[in-house]
Amino acid sequence: MSTLVFLLVGVGLVVMSLHALFVHTHLLRQVLAINVLGTGVFMVFIAWGSQSPTPHADPVAQALVITGIVVAVSATALALALALRIKQTTGRATLSEETEE
Amino acid sequence: MSLELALILLGMPFFLAGTVGLLRFPDLLSREHAVTKADNLGLGLVVLGLMLGAESVLLAVKLFLIWIAVLVASATVAQLIAHTVIDAGSETGGGS
Amino acid sequence: MTDWYLGLAGFLLLNLGLGLVRVLRGPTPADRMVAAQLFGTTGVAAILLLGQGMQERALVDLALLLSVLAAVTGVAFTRLYRRVQ
Amino acid sequence: MDWVLEASALSLFGPMGLALDLLLAAGLLWLAWRVLYSPDLFLSVVLFISFGLLVSLAYLRLRAPDVAMAEAAIGAALTGTLLLYTLRHMGVPIEPPRLAQHRLLTGLALLMSAGLGWAILTMPGFSDGLVVQVTQHLPQSGVEHPVTAVLLNFRAYDTMLEVAVLLLALVGVWAVSSTELRLPAPSAVLRGMVSVLLPPGLLVGGYLLWVGAYQPGGAFQGGAVLGGLLVLLFLAGWRALAAGWLLRLALGAGLLAFLAVGVLAMAGGSLLEYRLEAAKNLILFIEFFVALSVAATLAMLLLGRPGSAGEQQP
């Protein structure tokens, strides 16, 4: 049952964060949304892999997700550095030109 | 009921007390007091209980190390957070 | 036995949920951070009990990892959010 | 839905386990909602850190302790620190969420969740083909823990490129960041704590790296612990570490070790195809340096460009 519960949690996370990604214009919020989005995808992966008959979840899925987590943190760091630079250069924390004063 | 489980059960009220203190106490410093004292005692009892049931010395050592590390970390962070408040008045900058 | 440990882990999870109320209420960032620190202690205890309930020895290693890193975000907060005079 | 029954038959969790799962699920969804939509960004970041811990617990319930370790160390501790740092420097305390075309997007999101939910519930049953492959070839991998075998042997290409991606991301961060970490003088308490935590922390990092050969753990988990310790060291004022050549060397060590072993293996076969009798030692050799690289890179990602700070100081 764990599998089903967390598969649906994964779907919930993906949908919520996609919505947030479109609705928010603040760069930090968008980075947060992408992180939650990634977590949702990882959760689906691991939940699916937890059906494996081995003592632990599917090792291939686990290896992929570990790789994914490490890549996600490096992408996050790069995105945050970019966001900070944009804020320092333009004075805005968003990418859109016209919404701000 | 085994002594192991009894000790762990004994630890649970401390966690609850810490949380209640966190919610009910009026200011930051007393809340910190509640959280750090109660939770560390609770974790101590859980660790002690599990150590009794540990099948190897390595496991017992790991459990003890966990408790010590959490103790050191939570005490220090509590002290540091308290200082940011004492130094800056009630305002610490940044968020709301 | 298994159910006992899982139940107690659930109890600690509920405790964490209650603690989140303080994170939400604040009012200052320091208040939120103190409440978040609760996750260090209670979370470690919950993982230990979960490990016992699921007969999974590796969870002790996870608790070990968490306990060593428990201070990182708290220290980062106090170092970054103090006014640089 | 046969596979659901199959999965529940496999697991040793009774009704109490199900209750725990539902509790976790509710907590995860609620926390994610607050992270994404709370009006105060600082609150969002703090909740994101707590969210990481719950995600880690969910991975535990799904019998994926390796992933749980990576998530707890990287997803919660290091990403959280990065976010706290950026938020501090961007200085945007409260900003109401902008809800452009709110209704339309909400409708679309609901439609999508229905579609995704349907897709997942009607997925074909779990195929254990890859699991069987891994289990069958495990004796030839040199290690006993299947996740490590996949990461460092069966899919070693992926892991090598991932180490390169980490390095590239760091170069990117250095290229765009103009700020450096400015901190007040550390208190004696903080320095005391770091010096107390450092020895056991190093021990834990090394231990996780070592046991990865036969139980959950490995280069990334061990490296993440060491990276967290490095972040603590930086925050407590030991900044000179970052300017030194030792850390710079550590940044590239993982990729270099990987490449060296891979190319050497070509003498007997093709790239990254180890001979069985040497496999365990080669894997541990690579893992040692990858852990160092992961630790150094994760810590330096936070530090921004180290050169500018080093030049001003004597």
Asked whether D213 and D143 are in contact (CB, 8 A), the reply is yes
Q: Mean pLDDT for chain C?
A: 84
Between D188 and B61, the more confident residue is B61
Closest C-alpha among D271, D302, D137, D285 to residue D219: D285
pLDDT bucket at C71, cuts 50 / 70 / 90: confident
Q: Looking up tokens 């980075």, which residue turns up?
A: A31
Q: Looking up tokens 């059906």, which residue turns up?
A: A51
Q: Which residues contact D44 (CB under 8 A, 6 or more apart)?
A: A29, A32, D34, D35, D36, D38
Option in D47, D73, D84 nearest C77 (CB):
D84
What residues form DSSP beta bridges with C39? none
Option in D91, D94, D197 nearest B96 (CB):
D94
pLDDT bucket at D216, cuts 50 / 70 / 90: confident
Which residues of chain B have a CB within 8 Å of the CB of D201?
Answer: 69
Residue C8 host element (H or E): helix C2-25
A79/B34 Cα distance (integer angstroms)? 38
- Please state at what angle helix C2-25 crosses helix C29-53, rounded to 10 degrees: 170
pLDDT bucket at D312, cuts 50 / 70 / 90: very low
Average pLDDT estimate for C9-23: 87
Report the pLDDT value the prediction gives residue A77, as an integer from 0 to 100.
Answer: 92
Highest mean pLDDT among B69-73, C3-7, D7-11, D215-219: B69-73
Report the pLDDT value the prediction gives residue D92, as an integer from 0 to 100.
Answer: 61
A65/D146 touch (CB, cutoff 8 Å), yes or no? no
Between C57 and A45, the more confident residue is A45
% residues pLDDT > 70 (chain D):
84
Residue B10 host element (H or E): helix B3-24
Report the pLDDT value the prediction gives residue D58, as an integer from 0 to 100.
Answer: 92
Report the pLDDT value the prediction gives residue D88, as an integer from 0 to 100.
Answer: 83
D14/D1 Cα distance (integer angstroms)? 19
Option in B73, B79, B94 nearest D197 (CB):
B73
Option in C32, C76, C84 nearest D81 (CB):
C76
Question: pLDDT of A20-29, one tens digit each?
Answer: 888 887 888 8
D195/D236 Cα distance (integer angstroms)? 10
The DSSP secondary structure of C46-64, one letter per residue, reads HHHHHHHHTT-THHHHHHH
Average pLDDT estimate for D191-200: 87
Report the pLDDT value the prediction gives residue D68, as an integer from 0 to 100.
Answer: 92
Torsional sign, CA D106, D110, D113, D119: negative
D197/B83 touch (CB, cutoff 8 Å), yes or no? no
Question: pLDDT of D140-156, one tens digit each?
Answer: 777 878 888 888 878 78
Q: D262 to chain C nearest CA, in Å?
A: 31
Average pLDDT estimate for D212-229: 87
A79 touches chain D (CB under 8 A): no
Report the pLDDT value the prediction gives residue C52, as an integer from 0 to 100.
Answer: 85
Report the pLDDT value the prediction gives residue D94, as an integer from 0 to 100.
Answer: 52
Question: pLDDT of D50-99, one tens digit each?
Answer: 899 999 999 988 888 999 999 998 877 889 889 988 888 877 655 555 65
User: Is residue C46 scored above 70 in pLDDT?
Assistant: yes
Of B36-45, D96-105, D143-152, the least confident: D96-105
What residues form DSSP beta bridges with D40? D94
User: Is residue D100 scored above 70 in pLDDT?
Assistant: no
Report the pLDDT value the prediction gives residue B94, as an integer from 0 to 100.
Answer: 40
Report the pLDDT value the prediction gives residue B1, as an integer from 0 to 100.
Answer: 62
Using CA coordinates, name the residue in chain D closest to B81: D190
pLDDT bucket at D38, cuts 50 / 70 / 90: confident
Q: Tell me if residue D115 falls in helix, strand or coil.
A: helix
Report the pLDDT value the prediction gives residue D95, as an integer from 0 to 100.
Answer: 57
Task: Say whether the D–C interface has 3 or more Cβ pairs within 8 Å.
Answer: yes
What residues form DSSP beta bridges with A94? A26
B9: number of Cβ within 10 Å: 16
pLDDT bucket at D302, cuts 50 / 70 / 90: confident
Q: Is B4 exposed, middle or buried (0-12, 13-18, 19+ CB in 10 A)?
A: middle
Question: pLDDT of B19-36, one tens digit each?
Answer: 888 887 877 777 877 777
Q: Mean pLDDT for chain D?
A: 80
User: Is residue B14 scored above 80 in pLDDT?
Assistant: yes
- Reading the block at residue D152, the tokens are 């460092």
Report the pLDDT value the prediction gives residue B84, as an integer from 0 to 100.
Answer: 73
User: Is residue D1 scored above 80 in pLDDT?
Assistant: no
B96/D200 touch (CB, cutoff 8 Å), yes or no? no
Which residues of chain B have a CB within 8 Å of the CB of C40?
Answer: 70, 73-74
Highest mean pLDDT among B18-22, B60-64, D136-140, D184-188: B60-64
Chain mean position to CA C20: 11
Q: Which of residues 16-75 of C touch D (CB under 8 A)?
A: 16-17, 20, 23-24, 26, 29, 32-33, 36, 39, 43, 46-47, 50-51, 53-59, 61-62, 64-66, 68-69, 71-73, 75
% residues pLDDT > 70 (chain B):
88
Q: Looking up tokens 């779907």, which residue turns up?
A: A11
Region of residue A54 (phi > 0: left; psi between -120 and 50: alpha; otherwise: beta): beta
D225/B67 Cα distance (integer angstroms)? 17
Option in A23, A43, A85 nearest D176 (CB):
A85
% residues pLDDT > 90 (chain D):
16
A85/A95 Cα distance (integer angstroms)? 12
User: Is residue D308 scored above 70 in pLDDT?
Assistant: no
pLDDT bucket at D118, cuts 50 / 70 / 90: confident
Which residues of chain D have a CB within 8 Å of the CB of C85?
Answer: 184
User: Is residue D2 scored above 60 in pLDDT?
Assistant: no
Q: Which residues contact B69 (CB under 8 A, 6 or more apart)?
A: C64, C67, C68, C70, D197, D200, D201
Average pLDDT estimate for A49-69: 86
C77 touches chain B (CB under 8 A): yes
Residue D61 host element (H or E): helix D41-61
- For residue D88, the number of C-alpha atoms closer than 13 Å in the C-beta half-sphere is 25
Report the pLDDT value the prediction gives residue D86, as an integer from 0 to 100.
Answer: 87
- Reading the block at residue A45, the tokens are 């992966």
Report the pLDDT value the prediction gives residue B95, as an integer from 0 to 100.
Answer: 38
- DSSP state letter for D186: P
Determine phi and psi for A94, rounding to 5 degrees. -130, 170
A1/D130 touch (CB, cutoff 8 Å), yes or no? no
Average pLDDT estimate for B72-81: 85
